[in-house]
Structure 1
């Protein structure tokens, strides 16, 4: 692997920690499926996952309104179909796990489905016709810029759950999940669209085949929900895009328990944060669900996750659900702990622990062995040797750290310490999924 490729992998890791993020995992019907990461383009072979490939999006960037009429708005930059699908029954819940989302990027969260005439793995994305199954926008505008769907996503461990309508016909579908950030939307071309696509295989006894809209015609640049100033008081907010499908079920995104801090290995990379299960209740039973939430999150929650041997891209999660009620307008999500920490003494087995591959380990494995074993001073370029008294005050070396590392430190030592510090930070309350860059 070339130095340029190695740098790209490291850059992808850094970008996922600091920038907007992408969907790293999907839970459907109690099974975890790995999402796409742009660094996969440097693997040989690349993992086959349920998320659409978008290797051009190394920086977790966005699609601006000026590109609404082009193909990138459909599933992101240069996106191509996923090679496999997540399986779910109509009426079931799909959870979409983001690596991170910045709190300053307020805006709506939307979900669409488009039926593939055959296998979604080779579908022409420009022919997909999307119907909207979920939308949440402005929730409260008491204090500008208000509370938005994105704030719910962040509070729910950077996750979003969506119900697949019970009435739709069986078949292969593309789930188009999207966040529209409005922090700069007061100016023309200031809104930021972050579309992500997932392949689904839906089983159903339903017969609905809703009419949809081509991806390149979903939005216009000057729509009320696209060109808007969220830093002034808003009496209402019109969510952009087509009207909601009549059979859609909107979920209230809430969290009643934190997820485990164990990274779960899946395929060629690691997904940080345990998968979750969702319990659905009717709107009338919301208060009862809240009363029993504590019991659900402790006694009923499964304690381990296991890697499904027959599907390397998925992780089996024991189901924990309450009874569901059909034909309701709103359901309440309950998030529960579903995996124990790999770092605790209760790790189920040595084999399970050894199957976990960290993001840092992925970088280590990509670097030349010689680079790993060199001491830091030896690895520095000419003129980069440690000056007497450290780096501070040396203008010619202003771009390097102010303190020298201990004598004898190698690149491998440095990466191991970075991993250790990230793990400790995540134990102090930061979601570990935020650190998964692969």
Structure 2
């Protein structure tokens, strides 16, 4: 049974304009699917068809209430390509880079593509369900999700819930660097196979779920020290759904 999933990638930061990065590739089942390369793909004729939706550059989306928060700057135009993914498997998001100074949470969402991902934008309704996040854990080294991603060679692994029913979906992977605002990497499609039967629960809207003044976005990195016994961090976007 065929399942198509589109993936969207956000890299964010609060305070400067140095949060730069984009999804270089998506890895599933031992197969590497190239992402949209914003500095070379636009100049190829005909333009390559990637599993990721097009993005205009590697810079951040600085307004978390803007429609670009869904799938980055680039028009959020669906693609016809897809990657093959098995429910219950672990997939890898490979970024081209991510600076260790751009600390913040890493999050991954999934949405069901109503009427197929070729016609789905995901920019309205409570369609995004979070399946993974890492915020700040003072007991871990490094404690921030984005710093862990950087230390792992700009890679992040996510397990797809095994219970999800086959169908067409879109995945959205996000880095929120708490020194600028928000950068979205794009959106990729995959075919998901498996025997799950669960429909996704009600999720959150993107844009809509994030507020520029909420504590998980408007904050100061210096506060999060392992020596600060009162420091805690709440990842934006709600709780993780495990399936």
TM-score range, shorter chain: 0.7 to 0.9
Aligned to 1:215: 206
Q: Aligned to 1:166, which of 162, 167, 174?
A: 162
Matches of 2:209 and 2:185 in 1, distance apart? 12
SS of 1:215's equivalent in the other structure is coil
Please state which structure has a larger fraction of its residues in helix. Answer: 1
Correspondence 1:180-219 to 2 at 5 A: 180-183=176-179, 190-209=180-199, 210-219=201-210
Matches of 1:175 and 1:87 in 2, distance apart? 13
Aligned to 2:59: 61
SS of 2:118's equivalent in the other structure is helix
Of structures 1 and 2, the one with the larger relative CO (CA 8 A, separation 6+) is: 2
Aligned to 1:154: 150
SS of 2:91's equivalent in the other structure is strand
SS of 2:150's equivalent in the other structure is helix
For structure 1, the 5+ residue unaligned runs are 1-17, 184-189, 248-438
Displacement, 1:140?
2.2
Displacement, 1:206?
1.3
Aligned to 1:131: 129
Displacement, 1:70?
2.4
For structure 2, the 5+ residue unaligned runs are 1-17
> Which TM-score applies when normalising by structure 2?
0.82
Aligned to 2:27: 27
Aligned to 1:100: 97
Equivalent pair of 1:74/1:195 in contact (CA under 8 Å):
no
The CA deviation string for residues 118-176 of structure 1, in whole angstroms up to 9 with x for no partner, is 33123233246110000001122799xx7311111112111111011011111111110
Equivalent pair of 1:74/1:216 in contact (CA under 8 Å):
yes
Matches of 1:142 and 1:206 in 2, distance apart? 33
Aligned to 1:347: none
Displacement, 1:245?
1.0
Aligned to 2:43: 42
Equivalent pair of 1:87/1:200 in contact (CA under 8 Å):
yes
Shift in CA distance, 87/127, structure 1 to aligned 2, threshold 3 Å: farther
Aligned to 1:88: 85
The CA deviation string for residues 199-248 of structure 1, in whole angstroms up to 9 with x for no partner, is 1221121122222222111211111110111112452110011221142x
1:243 and 2:239 equivalent? yes
Matches of 1:130 and 1:23 in 2, distance apart? 19
SS of 1:41's equivalent in the other structure is helix
Shift in CA distance, 86/207, structure 1 to aligned 2, threshold 3 Å: same
The CA deviation string for residues 61-82 of structure 1, in whole angstroms up to 9 with x for no partner, is 1112xx3332100010133223
SS of 1:105's equivalent in the other structure is coil
Equivalent pair of 2:49/2:79 in contact (CA under 8 Å):
yes
Displacement, 1:89?
1.0
Equivalent pair of 1:96/1:160 in contact (CA under 8 Å):
yes
The CA deviation string for residues 322-378 of structure 1, in whole angstroms up to 9 with x for no partner, is xxxxxxxxxxxxxxxxxxxxxxxxxxxxxxxxxxxxxxxxxxxxxxxxxxxxxxxxx
Tell which structure's C-alpha radius of gyration is larger: 1
Equivalent pair of 1:191/1:227 in contact (CA under 8 Å):
no
Please state which structure has a larger fraction of its residues in strand. Answer: 2
Equivalent pair of 1:73/1:195 in contact (CA under 8 Å):
no
Equivalent pair of 2:19/2:60 in contact (CA under 8 Å):
no
Matches of 2:222 and 2:29 in 1, distance apart? 39
> Which TM-score applies when normalising by structure 1?
0.47
Cα RMSD after superposing both structures: 2.1
SS of 1:151's equivalent in the other structure is helix
